[in-house]
Structure 1
Amino acid sequence: MSMPRLRPPGPRAAGLAAAGAAYALVFAPDPLPAWALAPVHLLALAVLARLSLDARSVRQAAAGGWLFGWIACVIGVYWLYISMHTYGFMPAPLAAAGVLALAAYLALYFALAAGLARWVAHRRGALPAALAWAGAWTLAEWLRGVVFTGFPWLNAGYAHLDSPLAGWAPLGGVYAVAFVSAFCAAAIAFLWRENPRRAEPRQSIPAALAIVLALAGWALAQWQWWTPHGEPLQVRLVQGAVDQNDKFNPELLQAGLHRHLELAGTPTGPDAPAPELIVLPETIMPVFQDRLPPALWQAWRDLAGRQGSTILLGAPLRDREQGRVTNSVVPITAQTDLQALMAGRPAHRYDKRHLVPFGEFIPWGFRWFVQAMSIPLGDFDRGPARQTPFTLGGRQIAPNICFEDVFGEELRPALFPGKDGSPGANILVNFSNLGWFGDSWALRQHLQISRMRAIELARPMLRATNTGATAAIDADGQVLAQLPPMRPGVLGLAIQGTEGLTPYARAGNAPILLLAALLLAALALRRPRA
């Protein structure tokens, strides 16, 4: 009995797999240079658009979209394996299976975009088909970012931070950039035909419109959507670079805390101004506040007094009276009430709102999966949607923790006055600990995400992280300064707070999502009969 022969993948599957692999590389510089991210993204997406719109059936288009998305997500978020295996001590096969399974789920949204676009665009001209592709892609991206708490990593818009298309972000956010980039990719697809002699002049209409959209994006990027607010703020960002295996080790815990304390108190140079604000990463206190000795909290208060600074640091808080535990940011000054802080009830705090599944809360039915990892802490309570910013010298500073800045819609409320009368934020600050992912793409991808939030909301974004990327980003999304990853250090600089609201800050995702939905509905209602 002979063994069946394995067939090599056909050219269609091979092309989709190669394009998906290329797609995974475009969400942060290295290995590709920054200038290449947008062109490679458009070409990779054009391959998917071409093969999807020309597919024999909706099913074939969806299958191709799934293959493309699965390859892209396996490569693009490979760093989740590091968190599960290297630091979560999950067996390697189970950790690898977890990444493959997550990628298989995320690829369903790529399949949805490809299949829906093929169904709506079948037997349509180039322009309707390109609009159908852009609409379907945008809605699928949005669904991926909201269903089951959302996983909007690898959104198409992040590939275009250094391209003319970034100018659309202040108008419609990252989903507007995704819409325009998907349309441009479809336009490229319609220029690529098997038989150029059979190409129709109308097939070049999407390409002409894509050029107009790119030029409009460039023009929009020249517009300054913000005005300065107050004097620049003197800031010190601290990067402790404490290894995750050391951070929660009881024998090394004190050493990690003292490293952060020493870095935060680094003497300024003779001509350098003292920092008004010192920012330390997420959960630099790796245990609940009431498990730390009062002398340690006193040391932080003394440091704030000596520096004349406000210190913002990440700490898990436990309020035994209310039975609440939160992943929080707390301010420390020379006047901080340490008794209230140690009780888990500081006068002012920020509590993380958007919690990470499996890391900060356990989805129903997955406790067995979390128990297979040795990740400390556990189920946290959520903070409210709008929390009062911290006030410092007339500037309003709004924190967000870890991957909360992946959700631009959720950062918008901080820019508006609160019901308590507090003014909107002038500066955004991200507190992260990406030490779970080693020196991987996650660090650089997250920096790109923060840049997009700065452009969308016309606010500077400060980033204090454990291992990187610790950086300061201005209100136009440009990185002003950055620390090398995986090394301890401090970054001192002046950051200009801003005010003014972009169209995106005012309206959020609704306009671009409504546009995409209306386009698809109009095209679907007028589908040619088979």
Structure 2
Amino acid sequence: MVWLLLLVAGAIHALSFSPDPLPGWTLPYVQVMSLAVPAYIVFGTKRIRRAAMSVFVFSTSSFCVGVYWLYISMNHFGGMAAPLAALAVFLFALYLSLYAGLAGACTAWLGRDLNIMRVPQALGRPLLWACAWTLGEWLRGFVFTGFPWNNIGYAHTNSLLSAWAPVAGVYGVAFLAALASGLVASIVYYVKHNRPGIMAAMASALLGMFIVSFALTRITWFDNHGPAMTVRLVQGNIAQQMKFDPAQLMSSLQAQFALATRPAADIQRAPSVIIFPETILPTFQDRMAPEFWQSVVELAQQMDATLFMGTPVHTVIDGKDRYTNSVVAIDSDTSVSALMQGQELPVYDKRHLVPFGEFVPLGFRWFVDIMSIPLGDFDRGGQGQQSFAADNQLFAPNICYEDVFGEELLPSLHTQADGTPGASVLFNVSNLAWFGNTWALRQHLQIARMRSMETARPMIRATNTGSTAAIDAKGRVLAQLPSATANVLDVQIQGTQGLTLYARLGNWLIVILSLLGLGLGLVLKWRAARALNR
């Protein structure tokens, strides 16, 4: 019965990372209450294996439901047999859940010698749970290149806990979300054991956490930079089967260029920047005729705008071929020769590549070979790449799921070595058509909102199928296109400057605090063991 409860709680937990099917306002409550189920079991046992397995089962259920859309890319578009694709998702969920299981084991091991009938040590269990869970999330975010998707902090973009994002980032929000779940579990535990005094202490701690969070919402972390400007976001809605079909290449490009040239929503505020999705051009730029690039330059001139275009770029540097997934900036003065060569123009090369999509991990070529997806090994972009300057704003690009790695966006916010100011606007170009019209699109939007909160920068997103949206520097969605539709979105964007505490310190603040919390738990455990041996 307990294992069934954990499976159900895990599946419900997976619903908390994006609105629909649940209303957006319910997500933080669903996340905290469902995570309280494994926390309660961990707090109620001194058996480390049971604690680890309880959290592991919960987490496996959550990931199987939460990232089910990976099945679509492998089966529908990759041609992998349905049983193999389902097995791949299940095995991936098992791997991701190892970190949660480790957090459960660590909490049980460090907490089983606490005197839980005394208030200070009773509070130690939810604190240990929060520290261990946060470090598990952090490890999941970078081991084997990382997969921090569905970090529990993303369930709280609409809750008071999001006020901590500018302070300690999504991992800081995750710490407080885990702490809240631990406190809820403790309240239930002490109600059951008829300890009203300790229960009241737990409830007070929970209330105090939200009071402090409310106070943090009164802080403004940014200043406006320059006047607001109009940006046009293009959502082409090109079917994935069509996107990489050479026979359909020009028709799909023409359809998206036609969207880009639609009359402005407000003729007094014509867009000065037009952003196309990731790989709007799905082949290397030097495989297109110079006449094509000349037409693109003329499009920029016609619209009196700078175009940001996603395209694979092939360059030859010191006699060596280099292949990158990139975004290039094109205006009426851009040289066609520079575009053909992929040099001497504003370009951003993707740094954080997708395993199996943009590079093949060592030993997994066999896995790629059983899918019929056009995959390849790209080169990583360098550090310290320049932002794109347009209309007195500096735009820092990121591609696909690079915005899942919040700490990797931070360098672009700082003043550069040559004195250039940091980025005033972040923008993401993506193509999530690989996953159909699924939760993946809405989950990605929640992630982008958290990046805005962490950095105090607007984040604008141009995607192939969704979610194309504009987000302000406080993480609020200003405007959004419906998914799976072809359209453009003209939005007023206000650039910002100023560094949040998270932008200055990154993840190290919450990681060090979590390590110190576990270290204190280890000291208390050692002292308890010494007292028993006397």
Q: TM-score, normalised by structure 1?
A: 0.96
What residue in structure 2 maps to residue 501 of structure 1? Answer: 499
Where in structure 1 do 4 or more consecutive aligned residues deviate above 6 Å?
A: none
CA deviation digits over 1:410-460, x for unaligned, max 9?
A: 000000112233220000000101110100000000000000000000000
The answer to whether the 8 Å contact 1:246/1:252 transfers is yes
Q: 1:92 aligns with which of 82, 92, 95?
A: 82
What residue in structure 2 maps to residue 5 of structure 1? Answer: none
The answer to whether the 8 Å contact 2:42/2:54 transfers is yes
1:217-296 paired onto structure 2 within 5 Å: 217-269=213-265, 271-296=267-292
CA deviation digits over 1:88-147, x for unaligned, max 9?
A: 122212111111110010010110111111111113232011110010010000000010
Shift of 1:272: 4.0
1:64-463 paired onto structure 2 within 5 Å: 64-124=54-114, 125=116, 126-193=122-189, 196=192, 198-199=194-195, 201-269=197-265, 271-320=267-316, 321-463=319-461
CA deviation digits over 1:237-287, x for unaligned, max 9?
A: 000000110001122111111111111111225734221100001011011
Shift of 1:360: 0.4
CA deviation digits over 1:159-191, x for unaligned, max 9?
A: 111011111111000011010111111110011
The answer to whether the 8 Å contact 2:329/2:345 transfers is no
Number of aligned residue pairs: 520
The answer to whether the 8 Å contact 2:191/2:199 transfers is no
**Counterpart-to-counterpart distance in 2, 1:330 and 1:483:** 24
Structure 1 residues 441 and 270: CA distance shift in structure 2, 3 A: closer
The answer to whether the 8 Å contact 1:190/1:204 transfers is no
Letter in 1 for 2:84: L
SS of the residue corresponding to residue 251 of structure 1 reads helix
Letter in 1 for 2:204: A
CA deviation digits over 1:46-65, x for unaligned, max 9?
A: 11100112124111110111
The answer to whether the 8 Å contact 2:356/2:375 transfers is no
CA deviation digits over 1:1-35, x for unaligned, max 9?
A: xxxxxxxxxx2111111110111000000011011
Structure 1 residues 444 and 60: CA distance shift in structure 2, 3 A: same
**Counterpart-to-counterpart distance in 2, 1:447 and 1:345:** 32
SS of the residue corresponding to residue 252 of structure 1 reads helix
**Counterpart-to-counterpart distance in 2, 1:233 and 1:368:** 49
Shift of 1:194: 7.8
Percent identity over paired residues: 49
Letter in 2 for 1:172: A
Letter in 2 for 1:204: A
Shift of 1:385: 2.6
Q: 1:34 aligns with which of 4, 24, 30?
A: 24
Shift of 1:200: 5.3
**Counterpart-to-counterpart distance in 2, 1:258 and 1:498:** 34
**Counterpart-to-counterpart distance in 2, 1:524 and 1:54:** 19
SS of the residue corresponding to residue 524 of structure 1 reads helix
**Counterpart-to-counterpart distance in 2, 1:194 and 1:413:** 46
**Counterpart-to-counterpart distance in 2, 1:371 and 1:456:** 39
SS of the residue corresponding to residue 364 of structure 1 reads coil
1:450-489 paired onto structure 2 within 5 Å: 450-489=448-487
The answer to whether the 8 Å contact 2:265/2:490 transfers is no
Letter in 2 for 1:39: Y
Structure 1 residues 58 and 287: CA distance shift in structure 2, 3 A: same
**Counterpart-to-counterpart distance in 1, 2:80 and 2:189:** 48
The answer to whether the 8 Å contact 1:330/1:346 transfers is no
**Counterpart-to-counterpart distance in 2, 1:301 and 1:377:** 29
Letter in 2 for 1:212: G
Shift of 1:352: 0.4
Higher mean alpha-carbon deviation, 46-55 vs 146-155, is at 46-55
The answer to whether the 8 Å contact 2:167/2:501 transfers is yes
**Counterpart-to-counterpart distance in 2, 1:478 and 1:270:** 22
RMSD value over aligned CA atoms? 1.3
Letter in 1 for 2:524: R
Shift of 1:386: 2.1
The answer to whether the 8 Å contact 1:187/1:204 transfers is no
Higher mean alpha-carbon deviation, 412-421 vs 429-438, is at 412-421
Higher mean alpha-carbon deviation, 310-319 vs 391-400, is at 391-400
What residue in structure 2 maps to residue 49 of structure 1? Answer: 39
SS of the residue corresponding to residue 466 of structure 2 reads coil
Q: Structure 1, unaligned stretches of length 5 or more?
A: 1-10
**Counterpart-to-counterpart distance in 1, 2:14 and 2:68:** 10
CA deviation digits over 1:193-240, x for unaligned, max 9?
A: 386353252243232112111121122122211110001121000000
Letter in 1 for 2:337: Q
SS of the residue corresponding to residue 494 of structure 1 reads strand
Letter in 2 for 1:524: L
Shift of 1:334: 0.7
Q: Structure 2, unaligned stretches of length 5 or more?
A: 117-121
Q: TM-score, normalised by structure 2?
A: 0.95
SS of the residue corresponding to residue 363 of structure 1 reads coil
Structure 1 residues 332 and 189: CA distance shift in structure 2, 3 A: same
What residue in structure 2 maps to residue 25 of structure 1? Answer: 15
SS of the residue corresponding to residue 186 of structure 1 reads helix
Letter in 2 for 1:260: Q
